[in-house]
Amino acid sequence: MKYAPVVAATLFALLVWQIIVSATGLPKFILPGPMLVAETWWDNRAIIAEHTLTTALEVLIGLAIGTALGIATAIHLASSRMARVLIQPILVFTQALPVFALAPILTLWLGFGLWSKVAMAVLIIYFPITASFFDGLMRTPQGYLDLARTMQASPSRILWNIRIPAALPSLASGVRLAAVYAPIGAVIGEWVGASRGLGYLMLLANGRAKTDLMFAAMLTLGVLSVLLHLGVARLTRNLGKHGA
């Protein structure tokens, strides 16, 4: 079976979780067991689904915008030496700034609604997509470039007909990585200030000492991230084949 290893790993993790709870005798508000978390998830499924839709919308919009910006930036960097001199160091510097420090500023600028969370998701995925696609653009096989120059192809035609197709597998890798990071950015934004979303639900549950609900929301976020990664991997599979 294709998904047998995933199912086996999940069951093993649940078994270890239950053994730890049973062996240590920790109170439920410290570490609830998997059965209690499952029961809580079912009892609160409508609320969890509502907050999941909010987070999913933030993540999908952020992923789309971040991917588009990353692609445009990588192409610009690959096409212009001046852009590499002026912009690339700034991009590297931005990665030294902690994302948590930017979240309150974005909330102040964009408010407590959807767009501050989208901006956080964009910020956290923008650099990986830009870096991976730019690296692919700069690693075009030299034989392709020599042949194109021999045929007197213009730089723009070399870029669009050779370098970009050859870099598509790198872009696919960057987008798959971004699909894992995007939910982190959205949830960080929800932690700073929100009234909806799984991050907000986790904070709310933690403040009321409902650890089982917090675990249920956290596991839902994990499932959402895995599904998003699998969906993006399926969508980008053709990119890898096209560039190969």
The whole-chain average pLDDT of the chain stands at: 88
Q: Which long-range contacts (CB under 8 A, 24 or more apart) does 76-84 make?
A: 77/130, 77/134, 77/137, 78/134, 78/137, 78/138, 78/159, 78/163, 79/155, 79/159
Res 240: pLDDT: 55
Domains in the chain: boundaries? 1-30, 32-243
Tens of pLDDT, residue by residue over 65-110, are 999 999 999 999 998 889 888 888 888 887 777 777 888 888 888 8
What's the pTM value of the predicted model, to 2 decimals?
A: 0.88
What DSSP designation does 31 have?
A: S
* Nearest-angstrom CA–CA distance, 110 and 115: 6
Better-scored residue on pLDDT, 241 or 206: 206
Tens of pLDDT, residue by residue over 137-193, are 999 888 887 788 888 788 888 888 889 999 999 999 999 999 999 999 999 999 988
Split at pLDDT 50, 70, 90, the class of 244 is: very low
* Nearest-angstrom CA–CA distance, 109 and 120: 12
Split at pLDDT 50, 70, 90, the class of 241 is: low
Q: Taking 60 as the threshold, does the pLDDT of residue 57 lie above it?
A: yes
* Nearest-angstrom CA–CA distance, 220 and 29: 19
The listed range with the strongest mean pLDDT (50-54, 124-128, 143-147) is 50-54
Q: Taking 60 as the threshold, does the pLDDT of residue 242 lie above it?
A: no
207 CA to centre of own chain: 27
Average pLDDT on 216-244 reads 82
Tens of pLDDT, residue by residue over 17-49, are 989 988 888 888 889 999 999 999 999 999 999
Average pLDDT on 51-60 reads 96
Contact (CB, 8 A) for 224 and 55:
yes
Contact (CB, 8 A) for 224 and 183:
yes
Give burial (CB, 10 Å; 0-12/13-18/19+) of 1: exposed
Q: Taking 80 as the threshold, does the pLDDT of residue 211 lie above it?
A: yes
Give the length of the chain: 244
Domain 32-243 class? mainly alpha
Other beta carbons within 10 angstroms of residue 121's beta carbon come to 29
